[in-house]
A = this chain, B = another copy of it.
């Protein structure tokens, strides 16, 4: 189960992380992903830690965080010289928006689930979906 030191190319990384090759290169350009070592011929060579970092970015994006928010969290991973006050500032903020998102999604879940149930019951239901997240 321990992680081998195997390397893989950008295509493999793309498949593993479900991030497009072009997007991976874009992330390197804007320095949210590090520049990996290269092969003789100039191919990028990645390892497992690149894969984990990239998956984290992808899923965070799907959860509606901006690249700048993600970059903020990742500095905590990259730079070990932070004070507690700085860590807290970034983390508490992220935690608050995370909790707000969970609450919103749960409201949405209730409404959608209700619609599916009514459909199973044979009625075409009204769609009160807007009311779940308005205001």
Contact = CB atoms under 8 A, between A and B. Distances in A.
A21 interface: no
Contacts of A92: 116
A5 interface: no
B95 A113 contact: yes
Query: Interface residues of A: mostly helix, strand, loop or mixed?
Result: helix
For this chain, the copies found in one complex come to 2
A22 interface: no
Given A51-B134, A101-B105, 19 more contacts: A52-B131, A55-B133, A56-B130, A59-B133, A62-B101, A62-B104, A63-B104, A74-B130, A77-B127, A82-B124, A83-B124, A87-B119, A87-B125, A87-B127, A95-B112, A95-B116, A98-B112, A102-B102, A102-B106
